[in-house]
Structure 1
Amino acid sequence: MKQICAAFSAALFLLVSGAAVLADDVTLKSRDGAIELSGTLLGFDGEFYRVETQYGELTVDGSGVLCEGPGCPSLTDFVAELSISGSSTIGDVLMPALVEGFALQSGLKAERVKIDDTHFEYVLSAPDSESPVGRFQFRVSSTDEGFADLLADEADLVMALREIREGELALAAEVGLGQLDDVNRSRVLALDAMTVIVSPTNPVAAVSVSDLSRILAGEIDNWRTLGGADAPISIHLRDAQSGIAQAVDDRVLRQAGRSLIAEVTRHATNTALAQAVARDQLSLGVASFSEIGNSKPLALTGPCGFELRANRLTIKTEDYPLTAPMFLYIPARRLPKLGRDFLAYTRTAPAQIITRRAGFVDQAPEEIALNAQGDRFANAIRVAEGEADLTALKRMVDTLAPLRRLSTSFRFEAGAARLDAQSRSNVQQLAHAIEAGVYDGRQLVFVGFSDGEGPADGNLRIAQQRAQAVKQAIEAAVETSDLSQVQLSTDAFGEAMPMACDDTSWGRQVNRRVEVWVR
């Protein structure tokens, strides 16, 4: 909290006394001389001026005004600048690979310049020129630091391994950065997962999320409870500012109403964490799926006998419950055109290939045949009870057999009708694919599922409502197409195909979903 307050104070200082800090005084005059506006230049994107005035922060179209004063930028030698701060997991490998891919596709050369251990920049220029057209400046630290830099007006984009928190949302809105949990204020670059790891010599193969929360809270402190040796459990996590460590706190401990035990070994990097756990037979850690090294990942299980393992497909579909989206948060202000082009590039097929090659789970939709989903249907048969359940199961198989499941899934925030952050990004991704004609001449069926709590009829009705809500969100997001080339429909099967046990809130959350099936 102290860090957030410091960031807020810094942001206020910049807004209130920007002239003293930047000394970029400008006067913008309309070309007929009728209107004159003076203030402190906060930014220029090559087309629009962003100026702090007595009326507040204003954005002015540069084509209609003349700029006078010491802060006026050069219109002929403009260099687009983009400042990016946050998670080292994203900033060390993925973002540099995407910037280099973007430069190559744009016909530019990208030169990486190291500044210090946490700062570097990419200078983008034409192949036959030494004059830069853009500078992408990186500060690689933690998710916490990224949001602090954004609040202090020292970053244009935040790399985050968790969703923005309520306190950060409120502060961002106060300093004029917009509502950062809106659909256009964030996007998912790639997918990762919180993976429970142990030493390869540890005999334990699975753990429930309920037991994981009890281990992290110190309520389970001996491997014997999990079927292992009679020995104490040593807990290893990333540093407290890391997005993945905070995601563990938000999604495992807080949901269970527990707090992290004090006796935890912290690590500055994912690699160091995985190496430490692999060496120690008595250790348990929660690591990034992309960097588990030689450690052994545990399956997630529950009393109903279901097991879920982290792999590329279960992470992409969000069937694995501890999926960790890798976010870019974007404030409500105009970025330079080069920056906007880069953001558009991150959704393209070439960018998804780069993401996959960098070792992360990409978001390119995949089609999965029914016969490749045997485990899911076996689980559905296992929990079916009575003639009504078997009838519903038969209808589901008959309906879905001619279709293929897309890896794109949708889930809702706990206890709310609003799509979660990853699903809001999925809406945009699928809408762009529809606009691009990827599904022309095909049928997309949005299929709703529920948990098993409560009456089956009510669950079926809720599942149908969720499927309809996702379909409407897609229709609203498709801006450049009349949808005449693709058929959208809905169906629902309620509790007929659970993905996890219903005994915990996370299990019920996994089961409440909308899948996309394509014909």
Structure 2
Amino acid sequence: MPDRNNAARILACTIVGICACAANALSGEVTLRAKNGDFEIKGELAAYDQNKYTILSTSLGSMSLDASRFDCIGSNCPSDAVAMRTEAAPSDVPAGPTSISISGSNTIGNQLMPSLIDAYAQSTSKTLTKVVSPDGLDVEFKMSGKDGKDEGAIALHRHGSATAFADMEKKVSQIGMASRRVKDDEVQKLAAIGLGDVRRPGSEHVLGLDGLLVLVSPQNPVVSLPMETIAKIFSGEITDWSQIGQPAGKIDVYAPTKESGTFDTFESLVLKPHKFELTPNAKRTANHAEQSDWVAHDRNGIGFAGIAYQRNAKALNIVSTCGLIAPPSTFSIKTEEYPISRRLFLYTGGEPRDPVARGLLEFALSHDAQRIVKQSDFIDQVPETASYESQTSRIAFGLNAAPLNFDENLMNAFTSDVRSAQRLSVTFRFQSGSYELDNKALADAKRLVELLQSDTYKDKTVLLAGFADTKGTFSINRSLSLHRAQAVLAVMKANGLSHRQAKIAVKGYSELAPVSCNDTEEGMQLNRRVEVWIN
């Protein structure tokens, strides 16, 4: 659906696909009014479990709202005695110790998920006994209480992202780990066995982010490389620095071992898209710090590692197909604007029925778990800030836009609005032609509300700056970008934001200041966004 589609069409299919789910509404229309009186939302009540309302709104889509913060108004509001429960009935909840299964990505399962399981067990005062299979891909965590009694077990299977959905389809796994988003055919297969659309909120969960640095020696003069050139170097198609305009020297390629989740990420984001494989001449190690040190001491060397392992090596900028330069940083990975970055997912068929699976999932998605994500050498989702000066390269790039995709007065207004501000890493993204927030954006709205409720931000001014890709006319995209900023504000209010807690402005800047090229769907997806600026 192009960005030029009209607002009426947009309103028909908003935040989480109201067109698809309105027919399945379970009750009549109600009004949910925030107890502070600042916000209310009308729609079909889909579910209520005494803790949360799930409402289907024609303006905001499907939303889960904290029942303690909202009053339900209308004849269709449920009483506690007739509440429509979405979780399993008591007879369906397993009695006594149970075993659950988690399957999928080796990237997540290698270190991050075991660390989360261990921390979850500690938080619930359970002791773990670990049994590892001979090949190391399967681990069973047996849990016991303080009294030594059996408290169940967690089986972890680390055979790749595709196995997450295969095992869920076989109904042998309650939680799937994936270092990529679920594919259309996998969604259909899981829906066919009764799990519904696993891309919906409550089923698709972003655990953290992953980003890799391309490293060279500080003595190497190269500063930036295009992604295709990087792929050719690591495949062995380019073997000498002189082939890319640098001083002559045979390129020495360094890389992690094939078992490494870091190598799996690089292979999937850099090599495979260009139909390349790693050169057999690469020197490989399982020790990321060792590889980084090899590169740092080899003027002709090149390698890659997680951002925690830069050490004394120099990280290169990545040049996109349209010439936009992406410097590597935790900030650019958190905004998902650095090309070698990706989301780490957990998938479920809604809220797990098993209490251990449900408790582990809640812990994995908690604020406390983000510390473990960072300790496991991935990128957490804790908001951070960057200066206006750090954003000037893409603003300068935006000044080269074609006349049809540019408005000088609006660009001047944007730079004036943000010049003295700091950009927050929280960035909201949308489907084409709509202001439908994706699942990560919905979770980020909650994080942003929590941040703005802190003392640090109580006297700050917040700008929600909406943007669009280049599909459609500039004027229509300007309107769409404004609607996107307004949609973010509405979701923030639904998550407890009060006008007394922050001064918030919403503006739309159409196609200006892109963060990615508009020549691919992936690039356009990055440009359909709302940025957050703090002043």
Give the TM bin, normalised by the shorter chain: 0.5 to 0.7
Which residue of the partner structure matches residue 377 of structure 1?
392
Q: Which amino acid aligns with 2:225?
A: V
Cα distance in 1, alignment partners of residues 527 and 448 from structure 2: 26
Equivalent runs, 1:165-314 vs 2, <5 Å? 165-197=183-215, 204-212=222-230, 223-228=241-246, 229=248, 245=264, 249=268, 259-261=274-276, 264-265=279-280, 271=286, 278=294, 288-289=306-307, 297-302=315-320, 306-314=324-332
Q: Which amino acid aligns with 1:376?
A: Q
Q: Secondary structure, in 3 states, of the residue corresponding to 1:79?
A: coil
Task: Note closer, same or farther for the CA distance 1:518–1:181 as it changes in structure 2 (3 Å cut).
Answer: same
Cα distance in 2, alignment partners of residues 163 and 346 from structure 1: 18
Matched, 1:121 2:121: no
Offset from partner CA, 1:84-128 (integer Å, 9 cap, x none): 12222222322222223333333x0332412322222333443x3
Gaps of 5+ in 2: 1-85
Q: Secondary structure, in 3 states, of the residue corresponding to 1:463?
A: helix
How many residues in Structure 1 have an aligned counterpart in Structure 2? 437
| Among 350, 354, 367, the residue aligned to 2:368 | 350
Matched, 1:493 2:509: yes
| Among 352, 356, 361, the residue aligned to 2:379 | 361
Offset from partner CA, 1:473-517 (integer Å, 9 cap, x none): 5556x3xx4856556552122344333455666555444421123
How far residue 138 of structure 1 moved from its aligned partner, in angstroms, is: 1.3
Which residue of the partner structure matches residue 79 of structure 2?
none
Which residue of the partner structure matches residue 434 of structure 1?
449
Offset from partner CA, 1:162-209 (integer Å, 9 cap, x none): 111222222222222321211221211111124445677765432123
Offset from partner CA, 1:1-50 (integer Å, 9 cap, x none): xxxxxxxxxxxxxxxxxxxxxxxxxxxxxxxxxxxxxxxxxxxxxxxxxx
Does the 8 Å contact 1:445/1:489 carry over to 2?
yes
Cα distance in 2, alignment partners of residues 236 and 121 from structure 1: 30
Which residue of the partner structure matches residue 143 of structure 1?
161
Cα distance in 2, alignment partners of residues 219 and 418 from structure 1: 43
Gaps of 5+ in 1: 1-57, 66-71
How far residue 430 of structure 1 moved from its aligned partner, in angstroms, is: 2.4
Cα distance in 2, alignment partners of residues 456 and 517 from structure 1: 23
Cα distance in 2, alignment partners of residues 475 and 61 from structure 1: 32
Cα distance in 1, alignment partners of residues 472 and 236 from structure 2: 33
Cα distance in 1, alignment partners of residues 355 and 252 from structure 2: 52
Q: Which amino acid aligns with 1:123?
A: K
Does the 8 Å contact 1:445/1:517 carry over to 2?
yes
Q: Secondary structure, in 3 states, of the residue corresponding to 1:359?
A: coil
TM-score, scaled to structure 1: 0.68
Does the 8 Å contact 1:236/1:266 carry over to 2?
no
Q: Which amino acid aligns with 1:380?
A: I
Cα distance in 2, alignment partners of residues 148 and 206 from structure 1: 40
Which residue of the partner structure matches residue 8 of structure 2?
none
Which residue of the partner structure matches residue 164 of structure 1?
182
Task: Note closer, same or farther for the CA distance 1:238–1:497 as it changes in structure 2 (3 Å cut).
Answer: farther
Equivalent runs, 1:423-502 vs 2, <5 Å? 423-431=438-446, 434=449, 438=453, 444-451=462-469, 456-474=474-492, 478=495, 481=496, 483=498, 486=501, 489-500=505-516
Offset from partner CA, 1:54-100 (integer Å, 9 cap, x none): xxxx986235x9xxxxxx97x4xx11433112222222322222223
Q: Which amino acid aligns with 1:181?
A: R
| RMSD, matched Cα | 4.5
Does the 8 Å contact 2:516/2:524 carry over to 1?
yes
Q: Which amino acid aligns with 2:515?
A: M
Cα distance in 1, alignment partners of residues 160 and 446 from structure 2: 31
Cα distance in 2, alignment partners of residues 148 and 243 from structure 1: 23
Does the 8 Å contact 2:161/2:178 carry over to 1?
yes
Considering Cα pairs closer than 8 Å and 6+ residues apart, tell me whether 1 or 2 has the greater RCO: 2
Q: Secondary structure, in 3 states, of the residue corresponding to 1:141?
A: coil
Does the 8 Å contact 2:465/2:531 carry over to 1?
yes
How far residue 366 of structure 1 moved from its aligned partner, in angstroms, is: 2.7
Which residue of the partner structure matches residue 23 of structure 2?
none
Cα distance in 2, alignment partners of residues 122 and 437 from structure 1: 39
Q: Which amino acid aligns with 1:425?
A: K
Task: Note closer, same or farther for the CA distance 1:434–1:113 as it changes in structure 2 (3 Å cut).
Answer: same
